[in-house]
Amino acid sequence: MKKLTAVICTAMMALSLTACGGNTKEVSVNPEKLAEELLTTVTSDELTKSSMDLSTVYFYDANNVNSAVAYASSGTTSCEVAVVESKDASETTAVEKNFKTRVENQKNLYASYNAQEAGRLDDAIIKSAGKYTVLCVCDDTDKANEILKENGF
Protein backbone atom coordinates (compact mmCIF):
# COMPACT_ATOMS: atom_id res chain seq x y z
CA MET A 1 0.00 0.00 0.00
CA LYS A 2 2.79 2.31 0.94
CA LYS A 3 4.71 1.39 -2.18
CA LEU A 4 1.62 2.00 -4.28
CA THR A 5 1.23 5.46 -2.73
CA ALA A 6 4.87 6.24 -3.42
CA VAL A 7 4.50 5.14 -7.04
CA ILE A 8 1.39 7.28 -7.47
CA CYS A 9 3.12 10.31 -5.99
CA THR A 10 6.10 9.87 -8.28
CA ALA A 11 3.84 9.55 -11.30
CA MET A 12 2.01 12.73 -10.33
CA MET A 13 5.28 14.60 -10.13
CA ALA A 14 6.34 13.39 -13.54
CA LEU A 15 2.98 14.31 -15.09
CA SER A 16 2.96 17.75 -13.50
CA LEU A 17 6.26 18.54 -15.14
CA THR A 18 4.93 17.68 -18.56
CA ALA A 19 1.92 20.02 -18.08
CA CYS A 20 3.94 23.21 -18.28
CA GLY A 21 2.76 25.32 -21.22
CA GLY A 22 1.20 28.64 -22.04
CA ASN A 23 3.42 31.16 -23.74
CA THR A 24 6.36 28.86 -23.95
CA LYS A 25 4.49 26.31 -26.07
CA GLU A 26 5.55 25.97 -29.64
CA VAL A 27 3.25 28.08 -31.80
CA SER A 28 4.09 28.84 -35.37
CA VAL A 29 1.83 30.95 -37.56
CA ASN A 30 2.16 32.93 -40.71
CA PRO A 31 1.26 36.49 -39.58
CA GLU A 32 -0.01 37.48 -43.04
CA LYS A 33 -2.24 34.44 -43.30
CA LEU A 34 -3.54 34.83 -39.76
CA ALA A 35 -4.35 38.48 -40.33
CA GLU A 36 -6.24 37.58 -43.50
CA GLU A 37 -8.24 34.98 -41.62
CA LEU A 38 -9.09 37.48 -38.90
CA LEU A 39 -10.22 39.97 -41.54
CA THR A 40 -13.21 37.73 -42.18
CA THR A 41 -14.52 38.72 -38.74
CA VAL A 42 -14.88 42.34 -39.90
CA THR A 43 -18.10 42.69 -41.84
CA SER A 44 -19.07 46.33 -41.30
CA ASP A 45 -16.06 47.87 -42.98
CA GLU A 46 -13.43 47.30 -45.62
CA LEU A 47 -10.00 47.35 -44.03
CA THR A 48 -6.84 48.15 -45.93
CA LYS A 49 -3.44 46.67 -45.31
CA SER A 50 -1.26 49.34 -43.79
CA SER A 51 1.78 50.37 -45.75
CA MET A 52 3.29 52.41 -42.92
CA ASP A 53 6.02 51.35 -40.54
CA LEU A 54 3.82 49.81 -37.86
CA SER A 55 6.23 50.64 -35.08
CA THR A 56 5.16 54.28 -35.60
CA VAL A 57 1.53 53.27 -35.14
CA TYR A 58 1.79 50.88 -32.20
CA PHE A 59 5.10 52.15 -30.75
CA TYR A 60 6.65 48.75 -30.21
CA ASP A 61 10.43 48.43 -30.32
CA ALA A 62 11.19 47.48 -33.90
CA ASN A 63 14.48 45.89 -32.78
CA ASN A 64 12.51 43.23 -30.93
CA VAL A 65 10.14 42.39 -33.77
CA ASN A 66 10.62 40.05 -36.71
CA SER A 67 7.56 41.06 -38.68
CA ALA A 68 4.22 42.79 -38.33
CA VAL A 69 1.12 43.17 -40.44
CA ALA A 70 -1.94 45.31 -39.84
CA TYR A 71 -5.23 46.13 -41.50
CA ALA A 72 -7.05 49.34 -40.62
CA SER A 73 -10.11 51.33 -41.56
CA SER A 74 -10.28 54.36 -43.82
CA GLY A 75 -12.16 56.04 -40.98
CA THR A 76 -15.63 54.54 -40.98
CA THR A 77 -15.14 52.23 -38.00
CA SER A 78 -12.60 51.45 -35.30
CA CYS A 79 -12.05 47.95 -36.68
CA GLU A 80 -8.46 46.83 -37.05
CA VAL A 81 -6.41 43.66 -37.16
CA ALA A 82 -2.74 43.46 -36.29
CA VAL A 83 -0.36 40.53 -35.90
CA VAL A 84 3.15 41.03 -34.58
CA GLU A 85 5.85 38.38 -34.51
CA SER A 86 8.40 39.21 -31.83
CA LYS A 87 11.92 37.88 -31.91
CA ASP A 88 11.34 36.14 -28.62
CA ALA A 89 8.29 35.08 -26.64
CA SER A 90 9.43 37.23 -23.74
CA GLU A 91 8.79 40.36 -25.86
CA THR A 92 5.09 39.68 -26.34
CA THR A 93 4.22 41.28 -23.00
CA ALA A 94 5.54 44.61 -24.20
CA VAL A 95 3.65 44.33 -27.49
CA GLU A 96 0.44 43.52 -25.65
CA LYS A 97 0.93 46.65 -23.58
CA ASN A 98 1.34 48.69 -26.76
CA PHE A 99 -1.88 47.22 -28.15
CA LYS A 100 -3.75 47.95 -24.94
CA THR A 101 -2.58 51.56 -25.02
CA ARG A 102 -3.69 51.83 -28.63
CA VAL A 103 -7.15 50.48 -27.79
CA GLU A 104 -7.49 52.79 -24.76
CA ASN A 105 -6.56 55.84 -26.81
CA GLN A 106 -8.99 54.97 -29.57
CA LYS A 107 -11.74 54.29 -27.03
CA ASN A 108 -11.25 57.69 -25.39
CA LEU A 109 -11.40 59.45 -28.75
CA TYR A 110 -14.42 57.56 -30.00
CA ALA A 111 -16.28 58.04 -26.70
CA SER A 112 -17.36 61.55 -27.67
CA TYR A 113 -17.42 60.93 -31.42
CA ASN A 114 -19.12 57.60 -32.00
CA ALA A 115 -20.44 55.66 -29.02
CA GLN A 116 -20.96 52.46 -31.01
CA GLU A 117 -17.33 52.35 -32.02
CA ALA A 118 -16.23 53.01 -28.45
CA GLY A 119 -18.32 50.01 -27.45
CA ARG A 120 -16.68 47.87 -30.13
CA LEU A 121 -13.30 48.74 -28.66
CA ASP A 122 -14.44 47.40 -25.30
CA ASP A 123 -14.53 44.00 -26.98
CA ALA A 124 -11.07 44.24 -28.49
CA ILE A 125 -9.17 40.97 -28.47
CA ILE A 126 -5.50 41.09 -27.48
CA LYS A 127 -3.79 37.69 -27.23
CA SER A 128 -0.32 36.23 -27.30
CA ALA A 129 0.95 32.74 -28.00
CA GLY A 130 4.57 31.85 -28.52
CA LYS A 131 6.25 34.82 -30.20
CA TYR A 132 3.01 36.16 -31.67
CA THR A 133 0.69 38.88 -30.46
CA VAL A 134 -2.64 39.69 -32.01
CA LEU A 135 -4.94 42.70 -31.82
CA CYS A 136 -8.40 42.26 -33.28
CA VAL A 137 -11.19 44.84 -33.15
CA CYS A 138 -14.00 43.34 -35.17
CA ASP A 139 -17.68 42.51 -35.57
CA ASP A 140 -17.57 38.81 -34.72
CA THR A 141 -15.41 38.23 -31.66
CA ASP A 142 -16.59 34.61 -31.31
CA LYS A 143 -15.31 33.77 -34.76
CA ALA A 144 -12.09 35.65 -34.07
CA ASN A 145 -11.50 33.68 -30.90
CA GLU A 146 -12.18 30.44 -32.76
CA ILE A 147 -9.67 31.35 -35.44
CA LEU A 148 -7.09 32.19 -32.80
CA LYS A 149 -7.73 28.94 -30.96
CA GLU A 150 -7.22 26.99 -34.18
CA ASN A 151 -3.91 28.76 -34.59
CA GLY A 152 -2.68 27.85 -31.13
CA PHE A 153 -3.73 30.91 -29.16
Partner 1 sequence: MAKSKGKRKRRNDSLVLQLMVLVAIVLVVFEGKLVVTMVTHSTSTKKTESSGSGEEKEIAGSSKTETQQDAEAGNLASIQDGARGQSVLAGLPIGKGTVSQQSETDASYPTVSNPDSTAIVKEADTPVDDSYFSDAVFIGDSRMQGFQNASGITQGTFFTSVGMSLATMQSEAVIPTSEGNVTVAAALSGGHYGKVYIMLGTNDLGEYDWDSFKEGFISCVKRFQEIQPDAIFYICSVFYVEESKITSGSSYVTNANVDKINSILLDICESEGYHYLNLNEILSNGYGSLIEGASSDGVHVYEKYCKQMLTYLKSHYVIADDASDNSGKEEQETEPETEAKKEETK
- For partner 1, the binding residues (CB under 8 A) are 2, 5-6, 9-10, 12-13, 16-17, 19-24, 43-46, 48, 50-52, 56, 59, 72-78, 96, 100-106, 109-110, 112-116, 120-129, 139-142, 145, 153
Residue with Cβ nearer partner 1 (31 or 148): 148
- The residue among 31 and 71 lying less far from partner 1, judged by its C-beta, is 71
Q: Rank residues 31 and 106 by Cβ distance to partner 1 and give the closer one.
A: 106
**CB neighbour class for 6 (10 Å; exposed up to 12, middle 13-18, buried from 19):** exposed
The amino acid present at 123, given as its one-letter code, is D
Burial 14-40 (b: 16+ CB within 10 A, else e): eeeeeeeeeeeeeeebebeebbebbbe
Nearest to partner 1 of 69, 121 (CB atom): 121
| Residue with smaller CB distance to partner 1, 56 or 63 | 56
Report the distance separating Cα 142 and Cα 148, nearest Å. Answer: 10
For the CB of residue 62, give the shortest distance to partner 1 in the complex, in Å.
11
Q: Are 118 and 110 in contact (CB under 8 A)?
A: yes
Distance CA 69, CA 108 (A): 24
Angle between helices 31-39 and 141-150 (to 10 degrees): 150
**In contact, 77 and 139? CB cutoff 8 Å:** no
Smallest gap from residue 129 Cβ to partner 1 (A)? 7
Shortest Å, Cβ 87 to partner 1: 19
Q: How far is the CB of 18 from partner 1 (least distance, A)?
A: 10
**Nearest approach, Cβ of residue 48 and partner 1 (Å):** 4
